[in-house]
Every structure is written in structure tokens, then in C-alpha cells.
Chains A and B, each alone.
Chain A
Amino acid sequence: MATSSAHGDNYLNHEKGLWSWLTTVDHKRIGLMYMIAVMTFFLIGGIMALLLRLELFAPNAAANVGDILKNGDAYNQVLTYHGAIMVFMVIIPGIPAILGNFFLPLHIGAKDVAFPKINLASWYCFMIGAALAVATLFAKKIDTGWTFYTPYSIRTGTSTVLIVVGAFIMGMSSILTGLNFIVTVHKLRAPGMTMHRMPLFVWALYSTAIIQMLATPIVGITLLLLAVERAFGVGIFDPALGGDPVLFQHFFWFYSHPAVYIMIIPAMGVVSELITTFSRKVIFGYTAIAYSSLGIAAVSFFVWGHHMFVSGQSATAGIVFSFLTMLVGVPTAIKMFNWVATLYKGSISFDSPMLFALGFLFLFAIGGVTGIMLATLPIDVHFHDTYFVVAHFHYVMVGGTLMSLMGGFYYWFPKMFGKMFSETLARLSFVFIFIGFNVTFFPQFILGAMGMPRRYFDYIPAYENLNKISTVGSWLILVGFLIALYTIVNGLRKGEKAPMNPWRSKTLEWQTPSPPPHDNFAVEPIVTAGPYEYR
């Protein structure tokens, strides 16, 4: 199969020039274009995070360091952009749009996704939506928080309509990608690639795609209603116009809770790949992991009310939502145990992707148990909208999704670019990110237990020390990501040529040259066994 690499033709040099990229329908190139966009947004969102932490270094009355955001409005704006950019433009598109686009067809032995042109269209939707959202930075800056809760978002004098339209268009991108992935999985598998021979990353992307298709339209319509209310004064959510503000929360979380699983299920898929490859061992409980992804996807639609225990929804609703939320914990726990069991009697290496996978298990365990605490009614009544929640979802979203994205990125880097990176530097970036993450976010659990509310520009002196530790942690994370950036740039510029299969993995994408040729495989692969046959 290595024949095509003999004359050096690959997807990177198959066509040349900027125009060939902007009009490409090659899923691999589209994946890279998403990567550039998402990395840029991550940089912006990250700078916002550093600003927030710097401001919170000390309470305002005592501040001589870090008092950089002049007033509550400035803080609220930075907070809103940090949340909105990280959620809608980094974590949601992150794994599916970058790694999913690139590797889904390669994983199942296909030449491309089912609808390559729609795939390009969804990249343009994403970029147009993102551009509109970012454009608000140069208009009246948004201060609604990423959740756009009504009636605040109706009344505030900022460019809410613009960013909401941006988010709506980005939602189209998410729906189209979901559609594309579902059809690709059903229609384009190579001969012999049965559903039960698909790598678990494919199963994860498939479950995610279902949520993307079914849930995203809801938030699209909700945001549109919000825009209509603001623009034309139609009373939908604002009680002053006869609307119901809590209705917005129901609509919003009906999407945004499943969206949490759009963020985490693909991460779980990546981790499944990393753990088998670097333990050189068949995954423990393939079927359980595959179907628990689908199970989580299904139940995720019925738990939205756990964001609203103190919103004024009925006590009965609270009890039902608490119960259903407990049920989601079970398939998640199953996955954790399966990954740990896979390590048993393996041959475990400590290459940088594996470090990120192990880091994921560590952080996701903490994110998971604190999730159960938050699902417990009276505990949530105390923790709701405090830093405990902030710490919890950062453990899941950053400790989970971002760690897995980094691990996946290092893992597939040789395949994507045909070059190797410095393993030492990559490990060093892990050390800083992992330690920095814990230093930043663990103290926030304690702050939340003590009662410090989130989205606070200022706080009482009792919370000072833990906030200081947290801010110092954010600097360690910064160092970690700077090292990671250097590792990548250095690898791209001076990395050694990568072999076809540097990690000796069994999945299909490693059985074609690095980087892959334009059509992925010189000869259509014929699959005769499961994805993890390490014997």
C-alpha cells in the first residue's frame, strides 16, 4: 500500500496555493482548516481566561496586583467572550471537526465523507458564524454570559442579536457535520468493516453526530426567538412583554445539556484509541463502550432540568431530573472501568499521547464524582452557580475534552503532517498543563463549597488565598500551552520524517502512508478483523 508515497504525492501537495485550500473538498484539508480556526479561537479565549484570573488575584479593595479590568462591565464582557468562544468555537467543534473530519473516513477505509461539498459548506458556516460572533468585539461588547439568560439578554444594551445570529449560523455547521458523519458511517465503510469492527472513535463520533442533528436545531430556534424578541419587541421570554424568562432556560438547556455530550463523547472516543494503542492490547469491553456512547446520547436529552433546580421549576420536576441524571452516571462509570481494565496485563508506554490519556482518566474521575454531587438535589441547591460548578465543568470540559484533544493531536500528528515532534517537549507540555490545571481548578471546588458565587468581579476577603493559588495555576497552564505550541511548530519545521505507523497501531489510518495520499488509500482496504487485534 506504500506505493503512492514513492512518488511523494500526498494530500498536502496534491494541489497547491491558497485557493486550492479554500475550495478543497478533501476531508483532511478541511480538518486542518478547522484546526487553524479553532487554535486561533483558543488563543483568544485563553487570553480572556488569563485576564479573568489576573483580575481575581485579589479582591478589588486590596488589589495592587492584577487589578486590570476597570469595572464590572469590563469583567462581565471578558467573562462572556471567554465562555462563548471556548464553548461554541473551541470545545464543541474541537474533536469532531478537526480529528473527526480527518480520521473518520480513514478509520473506516473510505475515500472521503459522504458529502464532501457539504463538508466544505459547513466549514464556511462555521467561519461566517464565528466571524459575526467575533465582530461583536468591535461593536457593543456582549455581557450576557455564554448562556444568554433572559430577560437580562433582552434588556442589556449590547450587540446580542449579532452574536446570537453568529451562534445560529455556527449551529448550521454543527448540524451539517453531524449529517455527513451519520451517512458516512452507514454508507462508506470499506468491505468487511462491519459496525462492530469500527474503531471506538467512530462509534463516539456517530453518537455525537446524532445529538448534533437532533439537539442543535432547538438552540437555533431559541436563539432566533431571542433575536426576534430583541429586534421587534415580541413578548416571548421577557415578563415585561408578557413572556416567561424560565422558558428560555428550558429551551436553552434542552440543547446545551446534550451539547455537553457533544463535547465529551468524542473525547471518550479518542481516549479509547489512545489507551489500546499505548497498552498494545485489545480494548476491554468493546461493546459496552460502543453502546454506552449511544446510551449516554439517548439519556442526555432527558436531564436538562438539573441546571434549573433553583430556577423556580416545580419540586417534582427537580426530583425527576435528579433521578435521570443519576442514570447517566452509570454508562460513564462503565467507560472509566473499561479503560482501567484495558491497562491490566498490557504493555504500557509513556509516550506523550498516552500521558494525556492517563491525565484524562485522572481528571475525568474527579469531574465525574463531582458531577454526581451536583446531581444530588440539596447539594446542588448549595453549589448551584458557585465556583464548585465552575471547577466541575472545567474538570470535565478542559480536563476531559481538551486533554483528549491534545493527546489525540500528538497521536495523529505524524499521520497528519508526515513528521515527528520532540517527545521530550511534548511530555514537558503535558506536565505543565496537567499540574497547572489542578492548581487552577482544584481550589475552585473549595471556593464553591465555601459559597463563592461564580461570575463575580469582586469577592469577600475570606476567598482571597484560594483565588491567588488558582491564578498562579493559570500561568502554569499558559507555560504548558506555549511549550505545546513550540513543540508543534518545531515538529512542522524540523521534525524527522514520520514512518507509516510510528506507534504500531492496528487501526486503518496507520496502514496508509504518512501523510496520506489524496484518496487516502492506494487500494481500497479489505477488513477481516476488529480494530484492536493486538495478539
Chain B
Amino acid sequence: MMWFNIAKAQSFMPSQGTEIAKQVDNLYGFLLITSLIACVLVIGGMLYFVWKYKRKTPDDKTAYISHNTFLEFLWSFIPLVIFLVVFAWGWYIYHQERAMPKNALEINVVGKQWAWEVAYKNGFKAANEVVVPIEQDVKILLTSTDVIHSFFVPSFRIKQDAVPGRYTALWFRANKLGNFHIFCTEYCGTSHSGMIGTLKVVSREEFDKYLEQGQDEKSLPLAKKGAKLFAVKACSACHSADTPAIKVGPSLFQKFGKEEALEDGTKVTVDENYIRTSILEPNKQIVKGFPKGVMPTFQGQLNEDELNALVEFIKESK
């Protein structure tokens, strides 16, 4: 199948991280070659005729050829056959993509503006980072808390929308160690292009060690726990906490205890209660210069312990 390889070298597809990716690229290689032949025939034919039958005198006589049934049948039938072959081949691969394997390692991924929240079965959570063992069927169960997002791993040639109010799923079996991009491919607003995650394929041992972090988490100091939540709940997608840089919302760096000017002209001291209110009722006291209605409420999504941890983390951001 050398010609597939030639096509592949020219196809600019990303590295292949799964067996399915290889299959997709084979089909793509076939399509590239066939398309190239079709274009050479049509465009080449056009250029040849244009050159050969260039107007010579203003009154050239032309042939009167109104149709040719056999030729027309042929050029309807041959494309039809090619299209059907491509369709069936595509169906064959798509069927494998959509048939969820049994006994897969399941990971829950929640899309939210603008981060991926990743949750493992043992309760361990992470943001924007999916860690999976090599040569293991992995099923990603997707949903969203706000608008539609789409989970796309170019190296695995897979993509699935994360739709609020329901679950969707995709699966893969990585056969290559390394880090791969996760892009959001359904337009989701301000930081759509910043919603990039990493899919890390590691060995089985490394994966087990990674999950063990989950066990230690309960004994973390409050501020550390807050730092973790700050990433997992995607606060960090819009607020910086370690620099004064403004992302979507105001920076929280060195804000505690300071005065903040508000949109309605009043001033407020950043204390525990202001932070708490801003998390639970974000539109109540808007900082001057920032639009209303951008930040969603976290009412009902955080318990008291988690709120304490976040407040503590922001307190210590200095």
C-alpha cells in the first residue's frame, strides 16, 4: 500500500495516537489520491480544451454536439460507484468509533466556559488535563454546565460535542505515550480559543500513581485545596491569581484587604464576605470597567468547605 503512504506524507495530518487514527488516515489517503486524479482530469481537461480550441478567427465554426448518452451514463455511474465505496469504507470506521467497548476505563469530562473539568472514578478531579494509561480502552463521558462545547483530540481523530442537559460519549485506545492537544471545537464565547487541554498518555504504573493523589487530597491545607478548586472550577480561565494580569474578569492578585471601585460608583473593601458574595451572586457588585452577566453563579455548585477553601486561597494570593 505504498501509495497510501505517499498520500499520508502529503496530508499534514497530526501524529497518529490510536489504531483508529491510522484507519482514518488510510481512508483519507485514498480520498486524496482519488480527488487528485479527479481534479487532474477535470481541470486538466479544461485547460487542454481551452488551449487546443482557442478562438482563431472571430467567425470560427464549432461542432454541434448536444449530448452523448453513453458518455453521460459513464460519468454519472463511475462517480456514484466511487462515492458509495467511500461511504461504505467510512461507515466501517465510524461504526468502530461509535461502538463503545465494554470494561472501558470511564472518565467524566464536563465542559464549562472556558475549561474542561475532569473527574475520575475514585473522586480525583483535575482541570484541563486528562491522564490515561496506554493500551487501555478509555470512555469519556461528556456533558456541559452552560453552552455546547466539543471535545477534540486531533491526534486521535475523534471529536464529540458536550451538550448541556445530556451525556454524550467517545472512546479511544491510545497506543503512543506522550502529550496530545485537546481543543474545544464548538464555539462557546469569549475564551473559546483558550479552552485547550492536554491529554497525557502514560504507563499503567504512572497512571496508578497519578490517581493516588486523590487519596491525599482530603488532608491538604485549606489554601492548597482552594488553589486546586480555583483550577478545577475554571475560575482560572477568567481570573489570574498570581499576577495582576487581567484575563476576562479582574485579577485577584493582592486584592484582599484592598478597596475596589465598583461599577455603580461605590467602593467596597475586599473581605471574606465580598469574595463569598462575588462567587455566589457575581452580578451584585461588579468591579468598575467590567461587563455584567459574564460570570455564572456558583450557587449550589460549591459546599461550605469549598467556599472556605477558595476564600482562603484568594486571601493568600499575594
A positions within 8 Å CB-CB of B: 71-73, 76, 143, 145, 149, 151-152, 155-157, 239-240, 244-246, 279-282, 284-288, 310-312, 315, 318-319, 322-323, 326-327, 329-330, 333-334, 336-338, 340-341, 343-350, 358, 361-362, 365-366, 369-370, 372-373, 375-379, 381-382, 384-386, 446, 449-451, 453-460, 534-535
> Pick the contact of A378 from B64, B90, B191 — CB < 8 Å?
B90
Q: Does B72 contact A (CB under 8 A)?
A: yes
Judge whether A378 and B24 touch: CB under 8 Å. Answer: yes
Shortest CB-to-CB span from A456 to chain B, Å, is 4
Contact A372 B35 (CB under 8 A): yes
Q: Say whether B14 contacts A376, CB under 8 Å.
A: no
Q: Which residues of B contact A369 (CB under 8 A)?
A: 31, 34-35, 38-39
Interface positions of B (Cβ within 8 A of A): 11-14, 20, 23-24, 27-28, 31, 34-35, 38-39, 42-43, 45-46, 49-50, 53-56, 60-68, 71-72, 75-76, 79-80, 83-84, 86-87, 89-91, 93-95, 97-98, 146-148, 150, 152, 154-155, 157-161, 163-166, 168, 181, 183-194, 196, 248, 291-294
The winner among A239, A315, A375, A378 for most chain B CB atoms within 10 A is A378
Other-chain contact of A340, B34, B46, B189 (Cβ < 8 Å): B46
8 Å CB contact of B84 from A284, A286, A326, A349: A326
Contact residues in B for A347 (Cβ distance below 8 Å): 53, 55-56, 60-62
Report the bound CA distance from A245 to B148 in whole Å.
8
Which of chain B's residues has its CB closest to A316's CB?
Answer: B98
Q: Verify B54–A152 contact, CB threshold 8 A.
A: no
Decide yes or no: A326 and B83 within 8 Å by CB, A286-B66, A362-B43, A377-B91 being known contacts: yes
Q: Is the CB of B76 within 8 A of A330?
A: yes
A305 to B189, CA, bound (A): 24
Q: Which residues in B have their C-beta under 8 angstroms from that of A457?
A: 192-193
Complex: how many Å from CA A377 to CA B90? Answer: 5
Q: Is the CB of B192 within 8 A of A456?
A: yes
Query: Nearest Cβ in chain A — how far from B177, in angstroms?
Result: 19
**Is A143 touching B87 in the complex (CB atoms < 8 A)?**
no
Among B12, B45, B164, point to the contact of A446 (Cβ < 8 A).
Answer: B12
13 A-B contact pairs sorted by A residue (CB < 8 Å): A76-B190, A245-B148, A284-B66, A311-B161, A322-B87, A346-B63, A347-B60, A348-B49, A376-B89, A378-B93, A378-B157, A381-B157, A451-B14
Q: Known interface pairs A326-B84, A348-B50, A450-B14. Does A381 touch B158 (Cβ–Cβ under 8 Å)?
A: yes
Q: Looking at the complex, which one of A244, A327, A449, A459 makes contact with B193 (CB distance below 8 Å)?
A: A459
**Contact between A245 and B75, CB atoms less than 8 A apart:** no
Considering residues B80, B186, B293, which has the most beta carbons from chain A within 10 angstroms of its beta carbon?
Answer: B186
Residue on B nearest A376 in the bound complex, by CB: B90
Select which of A285, A326, A343, A378 is within 8 A of B53 by beta carbon: A343
A386→B152 CA distance, assembly (Å): 10
Task: Report how far A36 CA is from B119 CA in the complex, Å.
Answer: 56
Is B31's CB under 8 angstroms from A372's CB?
Answer: yes
B146 to chain A, nearest CB (A): 7
Q: Which of B13, B91, B155 contacts A322 (CB 8 A)?
A: B91
Q: Please tell me if the beta carbons of A330 and B79 are within 8 angstroms of each other in the complex.
A: yes
**A281 vs B49: C-alpha distance in the bound complex, in angstroms?**
13
Out of A145, A157, A334, A453, which one reaches B72, CB within 8 Å? Answer: A334
Does A361 lie within 8 Å of B43, measured CB to CB?
A: yes
